[in-house]
Amino acid sequence: MTRHLLFLTGTRADFGKLEPLAVAARDAGYRVGLFVTGMHMMDRYGLTRNEVRRTPGVEVHEFVNQAEGDAQDLILARTVTGFSAHVRSQRPDLIVLHGDRIEALAGALVAATNYVRSAHVEGGEVSGTIDEVFRHCNTKLCTHHFVSSDAAARRVRALGEPDATIHAIGSPELDFHARPSGVTLDEVRARYAIPFADYGIVTFHPVTSEQDTIGQQATDLFAALEASGRSFVTIAPNNDPGSTAIFQVLEKLPKDRFRLLPSMRFAHFSELMKNAACMVGNSSAGVREAPFLGLPSLDIGTRQSNRSDAPSVTACEAADRAVILDFLQTHWGRQAVPHAGFGQGSAAERFVDTLSRPDFWTVSLQKAFRD
């Protein structure tokens, strides 16, 4: 009997991590389904469900779980309802979810309460925001843990999870960056109308616990970037509470210096990163993919606190104008030593190898804390 794997994706970011695993599982002979919801279904964020639909050989089910501005608890409730109905219909052998988003928490709850085997990707990490709480909740709810590093494995173990369920495979999105993108920089610039060849990449997301100040943080950060005289490709923030305040800042930026994009295809974004002068913001790409590529990055604020110890990452607050300008002066265009703290770009292969082990499918669904 062919086992059925159901992947839950709610954002362009988590799909970038789940897609290599889904494709590898498909190629290994598993039946693969994708439950697509969240930001993927929203025009303002690039309608990235179209990116998911381009994945050949998988089953795609789409579900609208929110409208602009909805509270996270309401989004959680709707996602639980919609995903539960789909799980009962499809009866997957394994639910695969990623990280710390509200959709992932919904998926973990559905899996646990229905006693469906589940796999949590990139648990055991710290970030200093409410995302970390969601991430640790998912660890306790899920059956198996595909972690990105030995440090993450230790934290999952500290949460009482048995060694037999913890699998260190590295960060799956690095699989994209470890291979040729398949496109040229000229093709990327033409597709996205990027007018400059010398550019940095900036992405600044909301922090849900800092909604009252996130607009001012965005104002401070982009004022410093504008003062630097540099040019930036700016990727729009995610849809967490506070995004409206960030968009208000982005929409006032000079268009000859800041190319604002709602989203990008993964191959194109990989090529863009490989040729960038630096990365700025609070995206996980700045503390994970950027160090892997040797791209200097400036991590702003608390969203990725303690996430990476790569020497190519500089951290500061959005209001630290002098630090931001100094970083752009001293690190712009200077290749750093690539950092392998989150793997070597072989996560999908390790994922499928783990699935092929008979004992993977015999771990008890009745969880018990391991001291």
pLDDT at 240: 87
pLDDT at 143: 98
Region 119-138 average pLDDT: 91
Tokens of 126: 């710290």
pLDDT band per the 50, 70, 90 thresholds, residue 325 = very high
> pLDDT by residue (tens digit) across 23-79?
999 999 999 999 999 999 999 999 999 999 999 999 999 999 999 889 999 999 999
Each as own residue / partner, the long-range contacts of residues 245-249 (CB below 8 Å, 24 or more positions apart, any chain) are: 245/206, 245/211, 245/214, 245/215, 245/218, 246/204, 246/205, 246/206, 246/214, 246/215, 246/218, 248/215, 249/215, 249/218, 249/219, 249/222
pLDDT digits 0-9 by tens, 83-95: 999 999 999 999 9
Under DSSP, the state recorded for 197 is S
Contact 18, 96 (CB under 8 A): yes
Range 106-117 average pLDDT:
98
Amino acid present at 313: V
Residue 223 parent element (H or E)? helix 211-227
| Whole-number pLDDT of residue 222 | 98
Q: Give the residue from 74, 94, 139, 75 showing the smallest Cα distance to 2.
A: 94
Report the candidate in 315, 265, 326, 316 with the shortest Cα–Cα distance to residue 287. Answer: 315
> What six digits make up the tokens of 57?
């050989």
Predicted confidence (pLDDT) at residue 129 exceeds the cutoff of 80: no
The lowest-confidence range among 101-110, 291-300, 303-312 is 303-312
If you average pLDDT over residues 233-238, what whole number do you get? 96
Mean local confidence (pLDDT), 150-156: 96
Instruction: Say if residue 10's pLDDT is above 90.
Output: yes
DSSP letter string, 131-145: HHHHHHHHHHH-SEE
Residue 103: pLDDT over 90 = yes
- The full set of domains in the chain, from first to last, is 4-177+344-361 (3.40.50.2000), 185-330 (3.40.50.2000)
In terms of Cβ atoms closer than 10 Å to its own Cβ (0-12, 13-18, 19+), residue 363 is middle
Q: Is the pLDDT of residue 110 over 90?
A: yes
- Beta strand extents in 249-365 (DSSP E only): 258-261, 279-281, 297-300, 313-316
Give 297's pLDDT tier (boundaries 50, 70, 90). Answer: very high
CA distance readout (Å), 285 to 122, 161, 175, 250, 292: 14, 27, 13, 20, 10
3-state secondary structure of 258: strand
Residue 1 has pLDDT above 90, yes or no: no
- Give the model's confidence band at 249: pLDDT under 50 very low, under 70 low, under 90 confident, else very high: very high
- 258 has pLDDT over 90: yes
Share of the chain above pLDDT 70, in %: 100
Q: What is the mean pLDDT of the chain?
A: 96
3-class DSSP assignment, residue 298: strand
Would you state the pLDDT for residue 309?
A: 83
Per-residue pLDDT tens digits for 166-220: 999 999 999 989 999 999 999 999 999 999 999 999 999 999 889 999 999 999 9
CA distance 343 to 154: 16
DSSP 3-state assignment of 254?
Answer: coil
Mean pLDDT score, 133-146:
97
| Span 304-318, average pLDDT | 91
| CA quadruple 296, 345, 193, 282: dihedral, nearest 10 | -50
Q: What is the token pair recorded at 256? A: 């000859």
